[in-house]
């Protein structure tokens, strides 16, 4: 039987109480990496936008619709390429941090449960690339409807800009809106179905195919149960942050103090509790499908 939501919350809090000193560095690393990636992204995208503006400013006469479409298309291609590069680099960095974080959490859980064996890990670089592959595949699969909707809109945009929408604009626009609406439910299904894939790579050294298959196997037949075990603990653990933010509307020093307490809670408590709950659930889910809970592969070093 799968762990109950109440027990999942209790076990997660127990791990945090006993092991927070071991795990506290990872939220700080994540926050630092996020700020750096945000800064770099803003700088790069700013210069892409500036280049487009300067190109427009260099036109001696008012550009017609076809010239604008050409400029829009070339700028979009450059933007898409840079965005893809940024996403890949950010994925690489956060995946490496995520692997280390998940392994530390798994060790913390084992020690909290009284395990005397020290987990060892596959330290090959291929583990990182497999984890990146899993994250990229799951991410791309989850946004397939949105990508299809964007493609349809791109087919319709040149006609809109040139003033020649034609009879095909309505169906294209309507279908893209339907795909956008469906995309939310598709992304939710994919997220839950493959929620354990990266952990399977990090903790067991599975291949991309094995990790995605194992994750789907653990979720199969209990998708709703897994969804509730994601959403409800997350709501419980994040709720204090929003309480602090509501209190931050108070005037004066009290509001500032509440806002700072909320940020501190988010960084030093919630960011640890949320992935810990998922790792606990992963270990329990393996037991219920006949696997060895949290069993890491042997170190190759």
Highest mean pLDDT among 41-50, 107-116, 260-269, 280-289 belongs to 260-269
Number of domains in the chain: 1
Report which of 198, 196, 240, 234 is spatially closest to residue 215, judged by C-alpha positions. 196
What pTM did the predictor assign? 0.79
More confident position, 165 or 89:
89
Q: Helix, strand or coil for residue 103?
A: helix
Residue 295 placed within a domain:
no
Mean per-residue pLDDT of the chain: 82
User: If we measure between CA atoms, which residue out of 127, 129, 173, 180 comes closest to residue 152?
Assistant: 173
pLDDT above 80 (res 52):
no
In-domain check, residue 230 = yes
Domain around 226:
5-288
- Of 62, 55, 139, 50, the C-alpha closest to 94 is 139
Domain membership of residue 267 (yes or no) is yes
180/174 Cα distance (integer angstroms)? 10
What whole-number distance in Å separates Cα of residue 214 and Cα of residue 196? 8
Q: Quick check: 170 and 156 in contact, CB under 8 A?
A: no
166 domain-assigned: yes
The tokens describing 15, both together, are 């791990």
Residue 297 is assigned to a structural domain of this protein: no
pLDDT in tens, 104-124: 999 999 999 887 665 666 666
Which structure tokens are listed for 246? Answer: 């509501």
Under the banding of pLDDT at 50, 70 and 90, the label for residue 24 is very high
pLDDT cut 70: percent of the chain above it: 76
- Span of 24-38, 115-129, 141-155, 198-212 with lowest mean pLDDT: 115-129
Determine the Cα–Cα distance for residues 237 and 249; give it in Å rounded to an integer. Answer: 21
Q: Is residue 99 assigned to a domain?
A: yes
Of 136-145, 170-179, 235-244, 270-279, the range with the lowest mean pLDDT is: 170-179
Residue 132 within a domain: yes
Q: What angle do CA 248, 251, 257 make, to 5 degrees?
A: 45
Q: Using one digit for the tens of pLDDT, what is the confidence trace for 128-171?
A: 999 999 998 999 999 999 999 888 877 766 555 455 555 556 67
298 occurs within a structural domain: no
- Per DSSP, 207 falls in state -
pLDDT of residue 47: 67
Q: Is the pLDDT of residue 216 over 80?
A: yes
pLDDT confidence tier of residue 22, bands split at 50, 70 and 90: very high
Q: Average of pLDDT values for 8-26?
A: 96
Out of 15-29, 64-78, 147-161, 190-204, which region has the weakest mean confidence (pLDDT)?
Answer: 64-78
Contact criterion met (CB below 8 Å) for 23 and 108: yes
Alpha-carbon gap, residue 48 to 38, rounded angstroms: 15
Lowest mean pLDDT among 20-24, 57-61, 123-127, 296-300: 296-300
């Amino acid at each position: 039987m799968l762990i109950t939501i109440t027990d999942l919350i209790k076990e997660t809090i127990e791990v945090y109480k006993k092991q927070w000193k071991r795990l506290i560095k990872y939220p700080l690393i994540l926050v630092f990496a996020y700020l750096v990636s945000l800064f770099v992204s803003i700088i790069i995208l700013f210069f892409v936008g500036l280049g487009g503006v300067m190109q427009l400013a260099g036109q001696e006469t008012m550009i017609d619709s076809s010239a604008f479409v050409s400029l829009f298309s070339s700028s979009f291609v450059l933007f898409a390429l840079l965005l893809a590069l940024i996403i890949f680099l950010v994925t690489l960095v956060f995946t490496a941090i995520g692997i280390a974080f998940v392994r530390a959490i798994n060790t913390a859980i084992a020690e909290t449960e009284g395990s005397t064996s020290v987990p060892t890990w596959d330290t090959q670089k291929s583990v990182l690339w497999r984890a990146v592959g899993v994250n990229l595949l799951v991410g791309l699969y989850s946004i397939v409807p949105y990508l299809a909707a964007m493609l349809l809109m791109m087919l319709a945009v040149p006609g809109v800009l040139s003033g020649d929408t034609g009879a095909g604009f309505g169906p294209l626009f309507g279908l893209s809106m339907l795909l956008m609406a469906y995309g939310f439910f598709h992304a939710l299904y994919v997220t839950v179905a493959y929620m354990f894939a990266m952990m399977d790579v990090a903790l067991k050294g599975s291949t991309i195919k094995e990790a995605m298959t194992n994750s789907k196997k653990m979720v199969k037949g209990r998708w709703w149960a897994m969804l509730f075990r994601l959403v409800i603990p997350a709501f419980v653990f994040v709720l204090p942050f929003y309480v602090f933010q509501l209190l931050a509307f108070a005037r004066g020093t009290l509001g500032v103090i509440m806002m700072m307490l909320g940020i501190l809670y988010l960084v030093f408590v919630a960011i640890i509790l949320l992935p810990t709950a998922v790792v606990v659930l992963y270990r329990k889910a393996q037991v219920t499908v006949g696997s060895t809970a949290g069993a890491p592969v042997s170190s190759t070093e």
